[in-house]
C-alpha cells in the first residue's frame, strides 16, 4: 500500500537513526577501528542489512523511503524500481510493492553465462527507473548501476538509500555530475545525535566519532 503520511524530514531522520541503534546496526569503536571496503580505517560501521530481520522497523523505514522519494521527486516520477546487487534487492522489492511498480535488480557485473545480463527482470526502453540501495558512502558504486540501467535505454536520474554517510562533501556533486539526485533517510550526524540523546555509547567514544566525522580523511591518514 502506498504510504499516505508524511512526517517532516528531520523527524524521519531521527526515527531512522533511533531504529538503527535499536537493532544494533550501528557500531562505534575508536580503540579498534573497523576496516572499510576501501581498506581505510573508521571508528564507525553500519549494517543496514540487519533491517530485513525486523518487520516493524523494516516496514516503517520503507514507508519513510517511499514518502521521501515521492515528496522530493514526484508522485508519478517512476516506472520501475531497481535494486543494486545485493543489499539493495530486498529494499527495492519492498519499495516497488508499496509504489505498485515493477521491480528489477542490477548485477555488479555480467553473469558470465547465459544472456550475460546485468539487469534481471523486465526493464524497458524509456522507463524512468529509481535505483534503491541500502546506503552510500561516496556514491561511487551507484554510478556503475546507473550506467547499466541506462544501457537498456531506460533513464535513471534518482537513487534512494536508507543511510547516507553525509561526511564526504564530494558525494552529492559526484552523483549530480552523472545526472543523479540522491535521496536518503538519515546520516552519521543524525545517528551521532540520537546516540548522544540515548547515551548509547560512552562519552569518549562519541567524542572520537565526532572528530572522525568532522574530518574523516585526516582521521584516516593518521591511522592508515
Residue 180 has pLDDT above 90, yes or no: yes
Q: Which of 94, 98, 181 is nearest to 134 (CA)?
A: 94
> Can you tell me the distance from the alpha carbon of 210 to that of 216, in angstroms, rounded to the nearest whole number?
9
Q: What is the mean pLDDT of residues 55-77?
A: 96
pTM summary value: 0.94
> Can you tell me the distance from the alpha carbon of 169 to that of 116, in angstroms, rounded to the nearest whole number?
36
Say if 26 falls within a structural domain. yes
Say if 191 falls within a structural domain. yes
> Can you tell me the distance from the alpha carbon of 15 to that of 53, in angstroms, rounded to the nearest whole number?
18
Residue 224's pLDDT band, with cuts at 50, 70 and 90, is confident
Say if 194 falls within a structural domain. yes
Question: According to the model, what pLDDT value does residue 139 have?
Answer: 80
Say if 149 falls within a structural domain. yes
CB-CB contact of 83 with 133 (8 Å): yes
- If one compares 46 and 222, the residue with the highest pLDDT of the two is 46
Say if 14 falls within a structural domain. yes
Say if 2 falls within a structural domain. no
Question: According to the model, what pLDDT value does residue 223 have?
Answer: 84
Say if 224 falls within a structural domain. no
Question: According to the model, what pLDDT value does residue 1 have?
Answer: 67
Domain that holds residue 107: 9-219
Taking only the tens place, the pLDDT of each residue in 183-221 is 999 999 999 999 999 999 999 999 999 999 999 999 999
Tally of domains in the chain: 1
Question: According to the model, what pLDDT value does residue 38 have?
Answer: 73
* CATH value at residue 51: 3.40.50.2020
Say if 3 falls within a structural domain. no
**Percent of the residues in the chain that have a pLDDT greater than 90, as a whole number:** 83
Amino acid at each position: 500500500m502506498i504510504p499516505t503520511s508524511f512526517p517532516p524530514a528531520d523527524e524521519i531522520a531521527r526515527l531512522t537513526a533511533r531504529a538503527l541503534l535499536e537493532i544494533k546496526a550501528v557500531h562505534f569503536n575508536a580503540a579498534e577501528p573497523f576496516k572499510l571496503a576501501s581498506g581505510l580505517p573508521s571508528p564507525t560501521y553500519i549494517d543496514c542489512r540487519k533491517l530485513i530481520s525486523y518487520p516493524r522497523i523494516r516496514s516503517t523505514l520503507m514507508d519513510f523511503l517511499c514518502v521521501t522519494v515521492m515528496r522530493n521527486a514526484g508522485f508519478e516520477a517512476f516506472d520501475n524500481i531497481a535494486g543494486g546487487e545485493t543489499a539493495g534487492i530486498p529494499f527495492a522489492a519492498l519499495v516497488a510493492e508499496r509504489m505498485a511498480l515493477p521491480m528489477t535488480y542490477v548485477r555488479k557485473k555480467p553473469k558470465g553465462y547465459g544472456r550475460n545480463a546485468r539487469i534481471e527482470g523486465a526493464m524497458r526502453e524509456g522507463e524512468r527507473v529509481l535505483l534503491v540501495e541500502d546506503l552510500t558512502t561516496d556514491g561511487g558504486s551507484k554510478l556503475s548501476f546507473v550506467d547499466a540501467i541506462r544501457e537498456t535505454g531506460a533513464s535513471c536520474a534518482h537513487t534512494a538509500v536508507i543511510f547516507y554517510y553525509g561526511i564526504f562533501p564530494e558525494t552529492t556533486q559526484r552523483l549530480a555530475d552523472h545526472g543523479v539526485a540522491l535521496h536518503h533517510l538519515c546520516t552519521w550526524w543524525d545517528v551521532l545525535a540520537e546516540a548522544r540523546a540515548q547515551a548509547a555509547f560512552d562519552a569518549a567514544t562519541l567524542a572520537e566519532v565526532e572528530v572522525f566525522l568532522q574530518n574523516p580523511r585526516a582521521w584516516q591518514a593518521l591511522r592508515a
